[in-house]
Amino acid sequence: MKAFFKNLLSSFLGTLLALSMVSAFSLVVIIGLVFAFLPEKDEPFIEDGSVLVFDLSVNIVDAPVPFDFDEVLSEFLGGGQVPTLSLRQTLEGIRNAAHDDRIEALVLRGAFRPEFYGSGFPVLQELRENLQYFRETSGKPIYAYIEAPSMRDYFVASAADEIFLHPSGVVPFLGLSMESIFLTDLLDKLGIGIQIIRAGTYKSATETFTETEMSPENRAQTEKLLQDYWNFLLASVAGSREANPETWAEISQTKPVLTPDEAIRLDFVDHAGHYDELLTHLARQLNRPGEELTRVAFATYLKGLQWKEPRRGQTPDQIALLYVEGDIMRGARGGAGQVNMESLVREMRAYREDPQVKAMVLRINSPGGDVLTSEMIRRELAKVRETMPVVVSFGTYAASGGYWAAMASDRIFASPVTLTGSIGAFGILPNIEEMSGKIGLGYDFVRTSDYATLLSPFREKTDDEMAIWQNFIDDAYQEFTNLVATERDLSQEEISEVAEGRVWSGFAAKERGLVDEFGGLSAALRDAAGRAGLGEEWEIVEFPRAKTFSDVLDEWLTGSPPQVQQAQSFNPLPEADREIRYFLQSHRPYLVHSRLPVLFRID
């Protein structure tokens, strides 16, 4: 029935497109309405003895996933948009399957497709821990099928009982790297000058615009960070395979790409075979030789869960879970990769005043951004802490402004591979005087005082003006370090060691007192419940909440059109594109930034 409607609607939409009678948004609304009202079962039927198949070709994000017009349109037209799953729903699905008598085994396949700040190693660590819970609690087997896995893919696959590698596949075991792209020469050719003010020897966010290679300080902090990550990942994957981490570290130096025979011999995988051969082998292991196993897609299985989404004030004993995911920027509307600060602070205030809410957990996955915006979030969190326990959970990033926002909390949880710290500040002062001359753009001014053109991008700043901005940045840095010293109970000597804009792994951050405990989002929620004396009976209310199609359509009809994310075409330099976009949105010099370079991505 659904296929019939899809064919019919496809022809109808094709006609409309040809006649240019409706907008793209209207088309998506029509598609959403058709899908919303087509009759479907509330819960997919799952047979006894089913095998749950988790296709890892997804992007796992922290926050709930709202209704996405692009995803609906892509699915309807057979496009290739990356499916998105929320962390909590993914973990609950796996834990639920462990106790589901209909599920007999779990199969992992596919390769992660991270976008923005999704599918970072801390998220995958929590996923891996829940896979281990599935095995140990249920006694059900997990099988993994890989072809040419990245380190992210193999990190998760190594939690399986047995690993199959495609007969023509390889296992790249290359180690980790972090690549930086520098725009200095490009900006010079365009005639765009950049003046930088910063506080913190290691504050490397500005190097993208001013250098052609890493500074010695940046190289030193990156080497230490990568080594911490590598040690953790080696211990995890080698431990799961009952191998020696030092031996595997040596293999990455001598044989970085393993053929199937080598991967089997060195115990990286158990078998070389095709996917159907894995299923045949699994059937024998389940004492069902020759039988075709019933498979259930993980995404389908999630639809059948009774996913509770209580609203604030509906039930007693609630824990408010709020997400700070993306760049912290003033005026941001909460699109992909951005935090909607105004909505976040407003919701924090509402939770603080709600007698049903007994504790708050702030989940942070952010490289930082605008200092003033970060301080607004921190101050509101401090007010919340006056009325209830506040616990912070760090995701992939909790650095700069992301760390600033977290300080007003009772306890901070992090992963050993959370990118943490970067306690520093900087400002970006563009100068397009040379470019203006190249393109014939004139510039003149009239002013009432010597500093009236202090914000102008049409000229280079004088030494006197640079001193004004440097004092501004120094004040922000001093405020940052004072807050850390007070909230984390650190001496000035200890602050000097951990600050200066230096980036730390979660492991090093815990050693230095920047975080309290290792653990994921689930651990932070349990800790918050304990501090509030809630026992085992409590519910979670989230912000932002996963909006349904009805929610989004209602916003549109009432004059608040939702943001439709533009489809991403192939981009050979996505990191450079994102860095330039951030620069264009944040070039105002009176905005003090405390942020990581967005290019600080580890693979």
Q: What is the pLDDT of residues 242-281, one digit of tens each?
A: 999 999 999 999 999 999 999 999 999 999 999 999 999 9
Per residue in 62-82, pLDDT (tens digit) is 998 865 555 555 555 555 578
Average pLDDT score over residue span 218-245: 95
The amino acid at residue 246 is E
Are residues 587 and 482 part of one domain? yes
Residue 578 has pLDDT above 50, yes or no: yes
Are residues 400 and 256 part of one domain? no
pLDDT score, position 587: 46
504 and 421 Cβ atoms separated by less than 8 Å: yes
CATH of residue 259's domain is 3.90.226.10
Per residue in 156-177, pLDDT (tens digit) is 999 999 999 999 999 999 999 9
pLDDT score, position 14: 52
Per residue in 477-517, pLDDT (tens digit) is 999 999 999 999 999 899 989 999 999 999 999 999 999 99
234: confidence class by pLDDT, cuts 50, 70, 90? very high
Task: Give the chain's mean pLDDT.
Answer: 85
pLDDT score, position 80: 59
Are residues 411 and 508 part of one domain? yes
Cis peptide before 114 (omega within 30 of 0): no
Per residue in 510-542, pLDDT (tens digit) is 999 999 999 999 999 999 999 999 988 899 999
The answer to the question of residue 309 being in a domain is no
Average pLDDT score over residue span 4-9: 50
Per residue in 111-120, pLDDT (tens digit) is 999 988 899 9
SS3 51: strand
In 3-state terms the chain splits into helix, strand, coil percentages (rounded to 5) of 45, 20, 40
Task: Please confirm, yes or no, whether 400 is among the known catalytic residues.
Answer: yes
Average pLDDT score over residue span 31-36: 52
548: confidence class by pLDDT, cuts 50, 70, 90? low
> Last residue of a domain, which of 242, 273, 303?
303
In whole angstroms, give the CA distance from residue 296 to residue 299.
8
SS3 562: coil
The answer to the question of residue 346 being in a domain is yes
Are residues 60 and 31 part of one domain? no
Are residues 527 and 438 part of one domain? yes
The answer to the question of residue 12 being in a domain is yes
Question: What stretch of H or E contains 413?
Answer: strand 411-414
- Other CB atoms within a 10 A radius of the CB of residue 388 amount to 19
Are residues 126 and 9 part of one domain? no
Are residues 437 and 365 part of one domain? yes
The answer to the question of residue 561 being in a domain is no
pLDDT score, position 135: 96
Residue 130 has pLDDT above 90, yes or no: yes
Q: Which residue in the list 50, 374, 393, 400 is annotated as catalytic?
A: 400
Residue 383 has pLDDT above 50, yes or no: yes
SS3 171: strand
Q: Which residue in the list 138, 140, 158, 203 is annotated as catalytic?
A: 203
Domain residues for the domain of 472 are 318-443+450-545+569-595
pLDDT score, position 119: 94
Are residues 64 and 3 part of one domain? no
Of residues 109, 158, 160, 56, the one with CA closest to residue 275: 109
In whole angstroms, give the CA distance from residue 203 to residue 426.
8
Are residues 356 and 276 part of one domain? no
Are residues 162 and 64 part of one domain? yes
Residue 388 has pLDDT above 90, yes or no: yes
pLDDT score, position 31: 54
Are residues 359 and 327 part of one domain? yes
pLDDT score, position 200: 83
The answer to the question of residue 194 being in a domain is no
pLDDT score, position 40: 47
Residue 206 has pLDDT above 90, yes or no: no
Residue 429 has pLDDT above 70, yes or no: yes
Average pLDDT score over residue span 555-581: 48
The answer to the question of residue 238 being in a domain is yes
315: confidence class by pLDDT, cuts 50, 70, 90? confident
The answer to the question of residue 61 being in a domain is yes
289: confidence class by pLDDT, cuts 50, 70, 90? very high
pLDDT score, position 304: 84
Are residues 471 and 337 part of one domain? yes
- Structural domain count, the chain: 3
The answer to the question of residue 189 being in a domain is no
In whole angstroms, give the CA distance from residue 406 to residue 392.
6
Q: What is the share, in percent, of the chain residues with pLDDT greater than 90?
A: 64
Residue 570 has pLDDT above 80, yes or no: no
In whole angstroms, give the CA distance from residue 92 to residue 44.
17
Of residues 410, 336, 347, 403, the one with CA closest to residue 562: 336
Backbone angles phi, psi at 342, to 5 degrees: -60, -45
